[in-house]
Amino acid sequence: MKIPKKLRVAIYCRLSEEDRNKQSELDDSNSIANQKLILENHALKKNWEVAGIYSDDNYAGADRNRPEFKRMLQDAEDHKFDIILCKTLSRFTREIELVQKYLYGLFLEWGIRFVSIVDNVDTDNREYKKSAQINSLINEWYLEDMSDNIKTSLRVRREQGYHIGSFALYGYQKDPNEKGHLIVDEEAAQVVREVFTLFSQGYGKTAIARMLNDRGIPNPTEYKRLKGLRYQKSKQKNSHLWKYFAISDMLQNEMYIGNMVQGKYGSISCKTKKNKPRPKEEWYIVEGTHEPIIDRELWDKVQMLIKQRAKPCADGKEGLFARKVRCMNCGYTMRSHKQSDGRRYLMCSNRHVSKDACIGSFIAVPKLEQVIVEEINQLSLMYLNKDELEQKVDFNKNLYESKKNLEQKVTDYQKKASEYTKATRELYLDKIKGIITEQDYLEISKDFFKEKEKTQELIADTQNQIDVIEKKIQDSNNRRELIEQYTNIEHLDRETLDKLIDYILVGKKDPVTKEVPVEIHWNF
């Protein structure tokens, strides 16, 4: 008698921060270790072979980017196991959309069975399909209610002046004896005091950053990493260095005079971790919540100096290229500086915060203005021949043609995706009729799914391109007026710059030709 092959099972466990907060010292019912034990015992009783254990600690059920969750799904597609086993369906996900997508969609195509113990979900049993869908809908309602409750709780605590962030501001640490209270980290606080003092003595922000880097003082992120504290990782180059904007933000942060400032960003949705900036009037500011690092006299002096330095110069050119020009080498925003003879130039500050940070892009403001004016006027000659303006110039002609071509592509892609769906359905019927084997069905349907997924990605990418084109068309509605307005211009102003140009890249002067490479990225 042939012994049946053991089914391979993948165990998935998840613990969120909310679960952790619910537990008492004696309650480990939701702990990762306890989940594993329960699931391993269940697999043992069923005579299933444990093929892998996937565990996400401190991740919400609505987070689609859980690392182990994503790894498990990839292994499921590669058919490294036959069953996914969870304690409850909510451990897998709290979103009904993902329940439909995986439990009653992709898992069927991949030949994967899903089982959860407590709520008796088993995709091999058709009777449980409706109950699983109802449970997932309840989970999604719970997720939304929980999000609203959390927001209300956080709002109340912010209004009361409690610190609720994941990371303490540089110069402070979370008080281990009082939740929501900050205490001074004296080692970092000394650096904060030095920054404020140097600025009050007339040193610039870039000069201060250079001084700190030359002395090997780690910036806030690197300091926290070295101390084993929680910190937010940066994707930028030279993320361990002090830079202009780090000094600038520090000098204007009211937290350093003992005021709690929170709520600068708000979440878009309970289903994503993405945040968006909030207007200052919606921030939560509570005075005197913790010990100040900077006294009021020094703070007021620094704020006065910042305000004085922010005043535009007489010719109005200081702010012309503000936040518009980036270094071609490192991507850092170039800043305006004034020479002893009064001329202004733009330079990459990264070169001055550390010796090896950047090659140092540099260009005079009048030179850059001249380059851009010439480029605009050259475009005018190419596209805006006034003798043929009415007959030949259609500012949006190419845009409309591009949009039409892209829309046709979307239609073709959608048709292709429908064909893959239809082919998968017909393939399944062939399997039911015995025309093809189970193995053939799995292999072919897997290819269909991958091609359909690629097609859907193409649809999304193409739609994004259409959205960009529609924005450009919208921006150029009054095309004749716009064209004539920017024909034969002699000088730039900020309004013109914002209307025509997205951003500008500037490189380092060529030692042979003496030319500075400039790359203009237009808004049209």
Cβ–Cβ under 8 Å, residues 329 and 361: yes
308-329 pLDDT, tens digit each: 765 444 344 446 787 788 888 8
* Annotated domain spans of the chain: 8-157, 160-309, 325-387+492-522, 400-473
Eight-class DSSP state of 169:
P
**Backbone dihedral region for residue 196 (phi beyond 0: left; psi -120 to 50: alpha; all else: beta):** alpha
The pLDDT, as a whole number, for residue 29 is: 43
CA distances from 406 to 72, 108, 241, 419 (A): 35, 34, 44, 20
Retrieve residue 25's tokens: 């010292």
Hey, what amino acid is at 501?
I
Kind of pairing, strands 121-122 and 113-116?
Answer: antiparallel
Q: pLDDT at position 193, please?
A: 95
CA distance 297 to 36: 58
- CA dihedral (36, 41, 42, 43) in degrees, to 10, reads 90
Yes or no: say if 259 and 286 are a contact pair by the CB < 8 Å rule: yes
Residues listed for the chain: 524
Summarised one tens digit per residue, pLDDT across range 368-403 is: 988 888 888 877 666 555 444 443 444 455 667 778
Q: In the prediction, which pLDDT does 382 show?
A: 64
Across 247-280, b (16+ Cβ under 10 Å) vs e yields bbebbebbbbbbbbbbbeeeeeebbeeeeeeeee
pLDDT of res. 157:
76
Nearest partner of 338 among 359, 306, 309, judged by Cα = 309
pLDDT at 392: 41
Q: What is the CATH number of domain 8-157?
A: 3.40.50.1390
pLDDT at residue 239, rounded to an integer:
64
> Is the Cβ–Cβ distance between 325 and 347 less than 8 Å?
no
Q: Assign residue 336 a region: left if phi > 0, alpha if psi is -120 to 50, beta otherwise? A: beta
What CATH code is assigned to 160-309?
3.90.1750.20
Tokens 């034990």, residue? 37
Q: Which residues, given as ranges, of the chain have pLDDT below 70? A: 1-4, 17-30, 96, 126-154, 230-239, 266-276, 309-319, 351-357, 380-399, 471-487, 524
Among 368, 329, 340, which Cα is nearest to 507's?
329
Judging by DSSP bridges, how do beta strands 518-522 and 49-57 pair with one another? unpaired
pLDDT value at position 81? 95
Q: Report which secondary-structure segment, H or E, holds 336.
A: strand 335-338
Chain position carrying tokens 């034969």: 488
Beta-carbon contacts of 58 under 8 Å, excluding residues fewer than 6 positions away, are 15, 16, 17, 20
